[in-house]
Amino acid sequence: MIGPMPTRSIVTAANLAACSLLALSALATPVDDPAATTGPGIGASGGAASCAGAIQRDTDPFLPSRHGFRFVNSFHGSPLPPEIRDAESGLMGWARQVAERHAPDRFGLCGGMSLLAADYYLAGIEPPADLDPPSQGTPLYEALYARQTESLGPGMGKVFDFAHWMTLPDTAPTRDDRGAASPDEHALPEPTAQSTSALTRLELPAICQRLERGELVALGLVLTRAGRGQLWNNHQVLAYRVTRDDDATLRIHLYDPNYPGDDGCVLLIEGVGVGTLGLEPDGPDALALRPGNSATRGDAVRITRMTSAGQTRNVRGVFVMPYEPKALDQQNTDE
């Protein structure tokens, strides 16, 4: 039995346990559709396999079926960090007891899977060909867990971004909506309050420019709202390419850890409106976006995650997650 502890120490331990639950079992919701546990080219679960070979990045662009992990984003055990989950006594042992009352035994590590897949690709190495998620305590699991933590930024600051976006409406009234004449018929109507659509618009130029430069971009997907869902109902993915259907419709191509091997998984973004998304705004290939999409109005964009199997999910907002490449020899990923 644990004796009395200073109030400040109790609060610190409780906060650490709470942050662990929010940040590591959360924002990493495992796939809940059994049909999505295998993707194109991925068969039934099998034994572990070693890395398949080297990648020539100049001639081998990123594809989820080759460069993503082949197991689905669903892990079993404790979502707590090692310093808590292995503690038997003392302050951390008490924190473990408190946290495990609410901790799920099934959770996801989508941020860790996204970042570590990018690390493997940038290192020119294919990821392990395992079809089953690694067990807790193995080097690969611990590397995924560490990258999950890092995916949320210093001090897990991105947790608070998710929480803030969850409180916002999908769209907000604009000055044009209120009857004021726009001085420029091609100008984007100015929103009068924050919304997930308005903030997504601000994120899109940098996302598209980085993708057009050939970068991999980690993205946070806001899937729910405060009062209707939990923080851990949101998601993280890795974007690797952007294409355009027309002047108001973008497709951001994704590695989604919930759909391993699916090269057809995209974010369909409709009604982007005016502005320019692209490296060369005046060039013929610039993503010049114009108003007029009947699916949206004001600052609204409609975002849908689509898989090659036809599964769809509405997405309320999208923003960039932090990613700094990390050498594999610093992560102890070998079995």
* pLDDT, tens digit, 9 for 90 and up, residues 56-77: 566 689 999 999 999 999 998 7
For 301, the token pair is 């964009």
**133, 174 Cβ separation under 8 angstroms:** no
CA atoms within 13 Å, Cβ hemisphere of 205:
14
**93, 2 Cβ separation under 8 angstroms:** yes
CA atoms within 13 Å, Cβ hemisphere of 238:
34
For 70, the token pair is 């082949």
C-alpha 92, offset from chain centre: 29
**Partner residues linked to 319 by β-bridges:** 220
Task: Go through 283-311 and write b for each residue having 16 or more CB atoms within 10 A of its CB, e for each that does not.
Answer: eeebbbbebebeebebbbbbbebbbeeee
What would the mean pLDDT of 262-269 be, rounded to a whole number?
97
Higher local confidence (pLDDT), 331 or 86: 331
**172, 299 Cβ separation under 8 angstroms:** yes
- What pLDDT does residue 6 have? 38
Higher local confidence (pLDDT), 197 or 55: 197
**331, 228 Cβ separation under 8 angstroms:** no
For 330, the token pair is 């610093």
**304, 314 Cβ separation under 8 angstroms:** yes
Higher local confidence (pLDDT), 245 or 82: 245
Name the residue among 84, 80, 52 with its Cα closest to residue 68.
52
Where do we find the tokens 């933590």?
A: 149
**139-151 vs 110-122: helix axis angle to the nearest 10?**
100
What is the pTM assigned to this prediction? 0.75
Strand, coil or helix: 197: helix
Q: Are strands 106-107 and 75-76 parallel, antiparallel or unpaired?
A: antiparallel
Q: CA–CA separation, 13 vs 18, rounded Å?
A: 9
What would the mean pLDDT of 186-196 be, rounded to a whole number?
59
DSSP code at position 25: I
**Where is average pLDDT lowest: 176-190, 234-248, 295-309?**
176-190
Q: CA–CA separation, 177 vs 254, rounded Å?
A: 34
For 220, the token pair is 């946070």
**251, 272 Cβ separation under 8 angstroms:** no
For 323, the token pair is 């990613």
**Where is average pLDDT lowest: 25-29, 197-201, 225-229?**
25-29
- 120 has pLDDT over 50: yes
Residue 84's pLDDT band (boundaries 50, 70, 90)? low
